[in-house]
Structures are given as structure tokens and as C-alpha cells.
Structure 1
């Protein structure tokens, strides 16, 4: 019986070491997972910070052409340091919260040529074609959203 005390203490010590090792391993895994998540989130945030644009129209004088359908012209300037994809797959346009279908959008440079991206500091044109005219003198909000979630809005008065 004298050997039973130290043997049970040795077993308890080994069990305590195994439990401590398991807890340390789990904490190391969770810490590593958190570190990777922070790294990924930081890279995503850095991308959003490098990507920036502005809608540079005069809100009181929006160019419009046509007598039905009506084509409204909006100027977008890439004021960030990254190239912005400039296609209907990468850019969504909303007018007063309503999504404008991709078939009613065209993306051009200021010379009227179709383009697929905006270089830093380049100005592009989004032409929005609507079947019915916006009510003259009424205010509307256009919101342009890029594929990475960066968005800008402009409140304008319809011509």
C-alpha cells in the first residue's frame, strides 16, 4: 500500500501535463486562426483604402440626351492609387435605391471610347439609359458601388 500514494500522484501529474498540453495546443490554434483573420481583414481594408473614386458632376446640371430613351451622363474620377475595374460586372449603379440593370449602363472614357478600367486619376463616364425621363427639377440620388464595396453617392437635380 505504500507504493499506491506516489503512483496515483504520478498518474495525476501525467494527466495534468496532458490536459495542460491539450489546452496550450488549442490556444495556439485559436491564436493562429485569429492572427490569420486579422491579416486577411487588414489586407482587405488596405485595398479599400487604396481604392477611391468621386462622382464629379455638377449636381445642378446633369447632362441628358435623347427624347426617349433618355441617357444621363455621370463622370467618375479615380482618386485612389489602384486601377478600378470599370464594367457592368464590377460596378453597380443605383438611382434612389433602385438598381439600374447592367443593360442600361455603358462605361466610356471622356472621348466616348468603351473602356474596362480606370487608371489612377483618370476620368470615366457612366451613361445611364432610362426609358422614361427623370422628373425635371426633382432631386435624385445616384449611388455607384465598386466590386470591393467602396461606394459614393451624389444628390442631383434632374434637368
Structure 2
């Protein structure tokens, strides 16, 4: 009988150590998972901060050419530190919430040469072709969205 007391205490001690080890292992796994998630989110945020652009048109003087179809010209400046894809596959354009089909977009540099990326501090041109003209004197909103989700908009007056 005298040996029963210390044996049960030893069993209880072993169970307590096993439970404590399991809890510590679970907490270590969860902490590691949270740390990796924060690292991934930080890298994604850093990428978005390095990628930035601006629409640099005069909102009261948007260049337009043609008499049907009509081509509107918008200037985009990469104000970030990283180049980004500058093609109809990677950039979406919306006018007043309506997506402009990629076939109606042309991406060039300011000299008119076709380009596929826009480097830091470079200016690119997006030409938007529409079958019918925008109503003269009306205000419209253009939104340009990059492949990483970064977007900028400009309210402009149709010529």
C-alpha cells in the first residue's frame, strides 16, 4: 500500500508533462504559422509600396483624335521603384465603371513605340478607342488597374 501513493503521483506527473508538451507543441506550431503569414503579407505589402503610378493628364484637356472611332489619350507615369507590365493583358481600364475591352487599348511610350513594361519614372501612353464619342463637356471617370490590384482614377471632362 505504501508504494501506491508515489506510483499514482508519478503517473499524474508523467500525464501533466505529456499534456504540457502537447500544448507547447501546438502553440509553437500556431506561432510559427502566424509568423510565416505575417512575413508573406509583409512581402506583398512591400511589393505594392514599391509599385505605384499616377495618371498625369490635364483633366480639362484630354487629347482625342478621329471622327469614328474616337481615340482618347491618357498618360501614365510610374512613380514607384519597380517596373510593371504595361500591356492589355496586365492593365485594365474602366471608364465610368465600364471595362474597356483589351482590343480597344494601345500601350506605347511617349514616342509612339509599343512597350510591354513601364520602368520607374517613365511615362507611358494608353490610347482608348471608342466607337462613339464621349459627350462633350460631360465629366467621366477613368480607372486604371494594374495586375497587382493597384489602381488610380481620374475625373476628366470630355472634349
Q: Which band: TM-score by shorter chain?
A: over 0.9
Does residue 28 (structure 1) correspond to residue 31 (structure 2)? The answer is no
Give the aligned partner of residue 109 of structure 1: 109
Q: Which residue of 1 aligns with 2:86?
A: 86
Deviations 1:73-108 (A, max 9, x none): 000001111001101111111111111111111100
Structure 1 gaps of 5+ residues are none
Match of 1:151 in 2: 151
| CA RMSD between the two structures | 0.8
Q: TM-score, normalised by structure 2?
A: 0.97
TM-score for both structures, normalised by structure 1: 0.97
Match of 1:45 in 2: 45
Q: CA deviation at 1:55?
A: 0.3
Task: Tell me the distance in 1 between the aligned counterparts of 2:97 and 2:68.
Answer: 22
Displacement of 1:6: 1.2
Structure 2 counterpart of 1:69: 69
Instruction: For residue 8 of structure 1, report the CA deviation from its aligned partner.
Output: 1.2
Is there any run of 5+ residues in structure 2 with no aligned partner, and where?
A: none
Per-residue CA deviations over 1:46-85 (Å, capped at 9, x if unaligned) read 1111111110000001011111111110000011110011
CA distance in structure 2 between the partners assigned to 1:68 and 1:5 by the alignment:
98
Matches of 2:13 and 2:90, distance apart in 1: 61
Deviation, 1:131, is: 1.1
Runs of 4+ in 1 over 6 A off after TM superposition: none
